[in-house]
Structure 1
Amino acid sequence: MALTLSLGLSSLGASALGGGAAPVTPAPVPSAPISTAPISTAPVSTAPISTGPVTRPTLVGYAEMKADTFAQGPASGAWNGGLRGEARFSGQPVQGFSGVQRDPQGQGFVFLSDNGFGAKNNSADYLLRLYRVALTPGTPAAQAGRVQVGSFIGLRDPDRKVPWQIVNEASPERLLTGADFDVEGFAFAPDGTLWVGDEFGPFLLHFSADGRLLEAPISTPNLAGLPTLRGQAPIVIGHRGSSGTRPEHTLEAYRVAIEAGADFIEPDLVVTKDGVLVARHEPVIAVVDKDGKVLEATADVAARPEFGDRLTTKTLDGVTVRGYFVEDFTLAELKTLRAVERLPALRGKAYDGQFEIPTLSEVIALVRDMEAKTGRKVGIYPETKHPVYMNEVAKFNTSQLLIDTLVKEKFTDPARVFIQSFEVGNLKDLKQNIMPGAGVNLPLVQLVSSPDEAPYDWTAAGDKRKYDALTTDAALREIATYASGVGPYKRWIIDAEGRTTDFVARAHAAGLLVHPWTFRNEATYLLPGYRNDPEAEMRQAFQAGVDGLFTDFPATGAKVAGQYAAPEVRSPQHPAFAQGVSSAVANLPGSGGFEGFTIAPGGKVAYGLLEKAVAGDPAGQLRLMRYDLGTRQWTLAGRYALEQGGEAIGDLTPVSDSQLLVIERDGGQGQTARLKRLYLIDLGAKNADGTFKKTLVADLMALADPRGLAPSTRNGVFSFPYVTIENVLVLSPDTLLVVNDNNYPATGGRGADVKDQTEFLWIKLPTALKLAPGVARN
């Protein structure tokens, strides 16, 4: 059917401007008059359309609104990629409808237009508005559908409730624009006020009936509940410092790790000839072959002829090693050496020769100095290296030396120290004897290497077991009698095929923290499935529930962990990032906020459905947030799982206090569109994985249209192939109104060169919905 479009010019207060108008010089944004008068003319239809029974979702009414439909100014469309040029439109497009409700002042509808011209930096002259619209569906009896655009409600902040700078900061009315918020859903509360869901924050926005912001934007808390042992935020441990960017176990590596956001830094501890604990990964600081070639080194000792007599051969945990050993040097001698990169072929030599070998006391002093400078309390995570070897060869009990040093340095806060070891006996000795003797009680961590290796104290005692003996349920319970956590090789958490195991769950069942090692950014250390993305590996570990992880690149670890630990859900468009208010990282993809927002029929509870998954949540699962309008408290109602091929949701509307309709869609349009559907969810019905059970209500790509109401219908089938379909409203128990967002001035829904128009669908369902009173007012 053809479209008859009527604009209520008296309500608009200005003539409607058609497309094709010559560009005009952009004008300052004025305090536009705010019209709230209801539409007083034109036929209105919200009642069910009289038809016979249907056997499948069927188009029973249709209308169109031209893409080039404008309301009174100011001119718009002047911004492109953040740069201002000539305005493309001499008014404000009536476009991009992203939410619909009945008009509480009349018999028509109110539509919310979204944030403008496709992006935040393109939309500074697009004013956020709600338009009153009267609709008459096109039917065989009524012929052409009719769309009458009436007055608008302009959203504004004259009382300066927004605590950050907005586009129209200095103007009296402070009209809100698409560069300020991305409004995507709304509802009227019983008290007549207006609630709007935003994607940029995501925020809830509370307005008076005439569009005045009543309070500061309401942030969205991160209420997912982390799968860690106690729901606590996971920690990031700088493995040997920031050893991926600086030579390991140097003060510089530790400093960079702290600056990068590490919660703990890890000094591996060995002992000098004169009994001082220093940070080196192994007692051997340069390994040399029989021809004198250095095979691996962390210090430049092999190039120091004055120490040539220290080259020796020793047995280290049953392995013959030729090289230079820390226990053969005094601290004063070690201080003359300089650190070198252990993996020069991978990480280069740019920092060779610049840094000393630090003592444990110097590491603690650095931590305190960084705390004074940054205000961050960072912990240390020392490892006692090769305890049996140190006792037998170096003649020192490094566990005792460690506790003595921590006590001397007054660094014994159990919240800032973990002590780890690959051996078992020394941890038990620490727990039962050494720490009680010193009057301290610090958390211990049992390290677990690969299944082909074994704790050396077991091997030295003739015990043939390997590390897999420490991974059984019984063994984990035994570890919990002397340790607070377990530090497994990461393949115990994620196997060689990239599959998550049950190790974390079993360790947590024993009451143990889980801190796996080692996560690195270089492709050589990543499984193929991660496609050279180290963040993907870390995300999988955090999703498995690890309580922290060791990484050579703590900046990467802190970024990913921050997404999980953030107190709020934030998209990259959150104003905190653009205006320097916060250094937190985004944990929600761009434009992933409240695409769906509604108030339940009882009028006491609002629901906001995020468009995309929050970091840490299973892929394709979207949070449905519940907001109590009385107590102003958030809770997590549950998660909505997208279908295979689904990429986002488009809108949310209530059927009853416990049932909601959801638009789900893919990212395709035109010939590439595949999935555009309506699902019914019941808040009390969930699948085994905790997601809502879904019932398909209508496939919007295959609606019956036996009478050919829509011009695009072919062979009795109507398809709705727009990239975004963002409006659904229940009109009666068996009739829904569905409308697209045309992303003005986008093309592609009905043809590559055709501007997307706004299409209004009246859809009759074969099975009536069980509506709560007041959901549909006929």
Structure 2
Amino acid sequence: MRNLTLTTLLTASLSSALATVAGGGVPAVAPAAASPASAPATVGRVTLVGYAELPADTFAGGPASGAWNGEGLRGEARFQGQPVQGFSGVQRLRDGSYLFLSDNGFGSRANSADYLLRLYRVGFEGQTRPGSVPQVGQSVQLRDPDRRIPFRIVNEDSEGRLLTGADFDPEGFVVAPDGTLWVGDEFGPYLLHFSADGKLLEAPIATPNLPGLPTLNGKPPVVVGHRGSSGTRPEHTLAAYREAIAAGANFIEPDLVVTKDGVLVARHEPVIAMVGADDKVTEATADVHSRPEFRDRLTTKTLDGVPVRGYFVEDFTLAELKTLKAVERLPKLRGTAYDGQFEIPTLAEVIALVREEEAKSGRKVGIYPETKHPTYMREVAGFNTSQLLIDTLVREQFTDPARIYIQSFEVGNLKELNSAIMPKAGVNIPLVQLVSSPDEPAYDLKAAGDPRTSTDMLSDAGLREIASYADAVGPYKRWVIDEKCQVTDFVSRAHAAGLPLHIWTLRNEPTYLLPCYGGDPKAEMRQALRAGVDGFFTDFPATGAEVAREYTAAQVRSPQNPAFAGGQPNASNLPASGGYEGLAISPSGKTLYALLEKAVQGDEAGTLRLHAFDLATRQWKLAGRLRLDEGAEAIGDLAAVNDTQYLVIERDNKQGAAARVKRIYLLDLARQNADGTIHKTLVADLMNLADPQQLSPNSVSGVLGFPFFTIENVLVLDKNTILVANDNNYPATGGRGADVKDDTEVLWLRLPQALNVAR
């Protein structure tokens, strides 16, 4: 079998290859078919107009193969040559024959180190003559003689450096206008660029983790350690802040109140222990009630219009507060293991901790202070917390606007910061208007008799006003995701006003999660990020940072990516066998479309990314997202119809009698569903094909089912005809019988409705 130079055979563009198929079928002997599933009512029955079978045991020349098992252990070769099976991509040649791409081999990376990656020319002359067999002709061997691949391959030290199924998993290929070949790989996933005779022309092109999040400026989401890592350490302690930084938080949040001697300290409320009429503590962040020397400080004050009995920070000097120890605010939920171990820190100490941790790690971390109850602190304690905050930041030389946000639930102090305090100090720090639930208006507005509610503040007019004095908005999370787990229009409205938004507060404990998340806090975080929030506060920044990394990793990588070889930690963000399964080129010849088989970590389950790669500029973009139908678990191939419409195979992971979903859809990139995914129309149910001429021996009562585990080939031949073929993962069995090897079956299908094929 000689190597084939394809320059004269390959089409100049995919559109010119869409010639009318000739002939009928090849009724070869095969096992009985599984009973076909009923066809979906949304599509007319597709008719089989041609059929051929390539026997499973079809071999080509080459070294013996099949010596490796699924654990990567080598034994005796099982085959004296190279199996032609199975096929994962197809194009039509000018002479009417077809070029099929071999898959990675025997089903996995571990057992395919001696399977050579090739393209095979297959002819179907005499399709209508019973008993005729497809003719396998010349092959194109994929290879890397110029050492373009930057990692070790199986044949690293050989002269030809022939590529094997342990190096790449080729899934789909196209022919560019210049006659070169582009192949989609599942392991990387990569795009691979070959000459017409199979020589790799450049290094594998990695898949960027394109900005899949609709943040306002396309920037990565901000993870804020809410009161530090308050889910794992008592809140607002240096230990909690240190844990948050180590966990990967971008910012840590110190809520700020003022001591008797005018020092800003980190506590969630001015009251550090609330005490009931029965003298029992109802909530506390410090052990003050157990300290008899401070019993005289127990008092009742009106905090934002509500009487509160307890101990208040403004009644203690800093020296006195430093004798107290922090305790867990939620002991029944989070335990008391760390009670009595940590002091109450000052803002200056929090800044010093940030600098200390930065010096150790080299990673910049910001602070996100909140001025707590500024009206109360001014009226009851006599302090302007906003002025104290700016004075402290200037004194500590921590005024970089890229590393600080100042937030408040009140309005007046933010306006004062914006118009007077910060300009006088010569600083310009981003301000964030916090907004609570609808029944909790901003207290300073309420105290002044202003009737505006939270709903008013977050109306379109209210958002425009916020944008006049603040740089971002911090809404309670239910403004973005309601109690029914439905995303509202708030993100788009805030972004329309030019406001990024950081929602609060996401927690890991099931008691804080809606039922739709099934107890999984990552599900809530992912939904919020997909909704377009620009950041979020969380008591568990380790979880938050892990989810954010799903969207900020530079590349999409499968577990088989060579970056994880040599014992390096596996940081894949794509499931195994989830890389490129479909590759198509626009009929204009300008753009490659590469469709992942499975969802990238963080994306909604069953939603697959379709990437567009501009061949001229080498720029990537996200062309859209495909939502799999219920029952579908993966895609099988992608084929161009015209520049905006493409066929895609959707399938389940079942075979034989258990197979149900084996379908072909028409994707329209110019149309979107309400959820933003690509609009699609059912074209063919491969489990319910009409075979009135009994072209296939597997048909039952004139109906053919195609119940193979993997169906990985679809090609548009003309406006009414498509070609479909399966990949058999040689020597797999089960499609036509539990103990029967899967042949490669090739179907020519007549569609009931014409496609708008590019001319």
Q: Confirm whether residue 282 of structure 1 aligns to residue 282 of structure 2.
A: no
Matches within 5 A, 1:84-483: 84=73, 86=75, 89-90=78-79, 92-103=82-93, 108-136=97-125, 138-139=127-128, 142-223=129-210, 226-463=213-450, 465-483=452-470
CA 1:730 to 1:470, structure 2 compared with 1: closer, same or farther past 3 Å? closer
C-alpha distance after superposition, 1:298-329 (max 9, x if no partner): 23333444444433333322333333332233
CA 1:466 to 1:115, structure 2 compared with 1: closer, same or farther past 3 Å? same
Do the aligned residues in 1 keep the contact of 2:24 with 2:127 (CA within 8 Å)?
no
Could you say which residue in structure 2 is the equivalent of 1:723? 709
Most deviating of 649-658 and 509-518: 649-658
Q: CA deviation at 1:145?
A: 4.2
CA distance in structure 1 between the aligned counterparts of 2:403 and 2:481, rounded to whole angstroms: 28
Could you say which residue in structure 2 is the equivalent of 1:508? 495
Could you say which residue in structure 1 is the equivalent of 2:536? 549
CA 1:152 to 1:355, structure 2 compared with 1: closer, same or farther past 3 Å? farther
C-alpha distance after superposition, 1:622-656 (max 9, x if no partner): 44333232332233444444444444322122334
Do the aligned residues in 2 keep the contact of 1:423 with 1:455 (CA within 8 Å)?
yes
Most deviating of 197-206 and 572-581: 572-581
C-alpha distance after superposition, 1:563-614 (max 9, x if no partner): 233443334443334568799662x444333211133344443222233344
Most deviating of 215-224 and 199-208: 215-224
The match for 2:598 among 587, 612, 632 is 612
Do the aligned residues in 1 keep the contact of 2:24 with 2:51 (CA within 8 Å)?
no
The match for 1:49 among 22, 35, 48 is 22
Q: Confirm whether residue 494 of structure 1 aligns to residue 484 of structure 2.
A: no
Do the aligned residues in 2 keep the contact of 1:63 with 1:136 (CA within 8 Å)?
no
- SS of structure 1 residue aligned to 2:134: strand
C-alpha distance after superposition, 1:113-160 (max 9, x if no partner): 223344444544444332333334653xx0124133344433333333
Q: CA deviation at 1:761?
A: 1.2
Q: CA deviation at 1:521?
A: 1.1
Could you say which residue in structure 2 is the equivalent of 1:629? 615
- SS of structure 2 residue aligned to 1:469: helix
CA distance in structure 1 between the aligned counterparts of 2:685 and 2:337, rounded to whole angstroms: 60
Kindly provide the amino acid, as one letter, of the partner of residue 353 in structure 2.
Answer: L
Do the aligned residues in 2 keep the contact of 1:238 with 1:254 (CA within 8 Å)?
yes
CA 1:684 to 1:526, structure 2 compared with 1: closer, same or farther past 3 Å? closer
Q: Confirm whether residue 60 of structure 1 aligns to residue 49 of structure 2.
A: yes
CA 1:340 to 1:690, structure 2 compared with 1: closer, same or farther past 3 Å? closer
Kindly provide the amino acid, as one letter, of the partner of residue 744 in structure 1.
Answer: Y
CA distance in structure 2 between the aligned counterparts of 1:687 and 1:83, rounded to whole angstroms: 44
Do the aligned residues in 1 keep the contact of 2:476 with 2:503 (CA within 8 Å)?
yes
User: How does the TM-score come out when normalised to structure 1?
Assistant: 0.86
CA 1:730 to 1:497, structure 2 compared with 1: closer, same or farther past 3 Å? closer
- SS of structure 1 residue aligned to 2:503: coil
CA 1:136 to 1:556, structure 2 compared with 1: closer, same or farther past 3 Å? farther
Q: Confirm whether residue 751 of structure 1 aligns to residue 737 of structure 2.
A: yes
CA 1:583 to 1:400, structure 2 compared with 1: closer, same or farther past 3 Å? farther
Kindly provide the amino acid, as one letter, of the partner of residue 679 in structure 1.
Answer: Y
CA 1:464 to 1:766, structure 2 compared with 1: closer, same or farther past 3 Å? closer
- SS of structure 1 residue aligned to 2:320: helix
Could you say which residue in structure 2 is the equivalent of 1:530? 517
Do the aligned residues in 2 keep the contact of 1:611 with 1:650 (CA within 8 Å)?
yes
CA 1:304 to 1:69, structure 2 compared with 1: closer, same or farther past 3 Å? farther
- SS of structure 1 residue aligned to 2:504: coil
CA 1:575 to 1:365, structure 2 compared with 1: closer, same or farther past 3 Å? farther
Kindly provide the amino acid, as one letter, of the partner of residue 279 in structure 1.
Answer: A
Do the aligned residues in 1 keep the contact of 2:634 with 2:652 (CA within 8 Å)?
yes
CA 1:594 to 1:276, structure 2 compared with 1: closer, same or farther past 3 Å? same
Do the aligned residues in 2 keep the contact of 1:562 with 1:584 (CA within 8 Å)?
no
CA distance in structure 2 between the aligned counterparts of 1:569 and 1:128, rounded to whole angstroms: 23
Q: CA deviation at 1:83?
A: 4.7
Q: Confirm whether residue 700 of structure 1 aligns to residue 686 of structure 2.
A: yes
Q: CA deviation at 1:418?
A: 0.8
The match for 2:552 among 565, 569, 579 is 565
Point out where structure 1 has 5 or more consecutive residues left out of the alignment: 1-10, 13-34, 39-45, 774-778
Matches within 5 A, 1:732-747: 732-747=718-733
CA distance in structure 1 between the aligned counterparts of 2:687 and 2:404, rounded to whole angstroms: 59
CA distance in structure 1 between the aligned counterparts of 2:337 and 2:110, rounded to whole angstroms: 40
CA 1:396 to 1:687, structure 2 compared with 1: closer, same or farther past 3 Å? closer
CA distance in structure 1 between the aligned counterparts of 2:266 and 2:57, rounded to whole angstroms: 69
Q: Confirm whether residue 652 of structure 1 aligns to residue 638 of structure 2.
A: yes
Do the aligned residues in 1 keep the contact of 2:686 with 2:705 (CA within 8 Å)?
yes
C-alpha distance after superposition, 1:436-470 (max 9, x if no partner): 22111211111111222232223333445543332
What is the percent sequence identity of the aligned residues? 69
Kindly provide the amino acid, as one letter, of the partner of residue 373 in structure 1.
Answer: K
Do the aligned residues in 2 keep the contact of 1:97 with 1:111 (CA within 8 Å)?
yes
CA distance in structure 1 between the aligned counterparts of 2:524 and 2:318, rounded to whole angstroms: 39
Q: CA deviation at 1:242?
A: 1.4
User: How does the TM-score come out when normalised to structure 2?
Assistant: 0.88
Kindly provide the amino acid, as one letter, of the partner of residue 385 in structure 1.
Answer: K
Kindly provide the amino acid, as one letter, of the partner of residue 735 in structure 2.
Answer: G
CA distance in structure 2 between the aligned counterparts of 1:621 and 1:57, rounded to whole angstroms: 27
Do the aligned residues in 2 keep the contact of 1:64 with 1:145 (CA within 8 Å)?
no
CA 1:201 to 1:390, structure 2 compared with 1: closer, same or farther past 3 Å? same
CA RMSD of aligned residues (A): 3.0
Do the aligned residues in 1 keep the contact of 2:668 with 2:678 (CA within 8 Å)?
yes
C-alpha distance after superposition, 1:243-277 (max 9, x if no partner): 11222212222222222221111111112222211
Asked which structure has the greater RCO (Cα within 8 Å, sep 6+), the reply is: 2
Q: How many residues in Structure 1 have an aligned counterpart in Structure 2?
A: 727
Kindly provide the amino acid, as one letter, of the partner of residue 221 in structure 1.
Answer: P
CA 1:331 to 1:506, structure 2 compared with 1: closer, same or farther past 3 Å? same
CA distance in structure 1 between the aligned counterparts of 2:179 and 2:333, rounded to whole angstroms: 64
Could you say which residue in structure 2 is the equivalent of 1:73? 63
CA 1:249 to 1:57, structure 2 compared with 1: closer, same or farther past 3 Å? same
C-alpha distance after superposition, 1:76-115 (max 9, x if no partner): 35243x45254573454433311012357x7532222223
Kindly provide the amino acid, as one letter, of the partner of residue 96 in structure 1.
Answer: G
Kindly provide the amino acid, as one letter, of the partner of residue 87 in structure 2.
Answer: F
Do the aligned residues in 2 keep the contact of 1:61 with 1:137 (CA within 8 Å)?
no
CA distance in structure 2 between the aligned counterparts of 1:137 and 1:98, rounded to whole angstroms: 24
Kindly provide the amino acid, as one letter, of the partner of residue 762 in structure 1.
Answer: W
- SS of structure 2 residue aligned to 1:756: coil
CA distance in structure 2 between the aligned counterparts of 1:395 and 1:51, rounded to whole angstroms: 93
CA distance in structure 2 between the aligned counterparts of 1:271 and 1:165, rounded to whole angstroms: 61
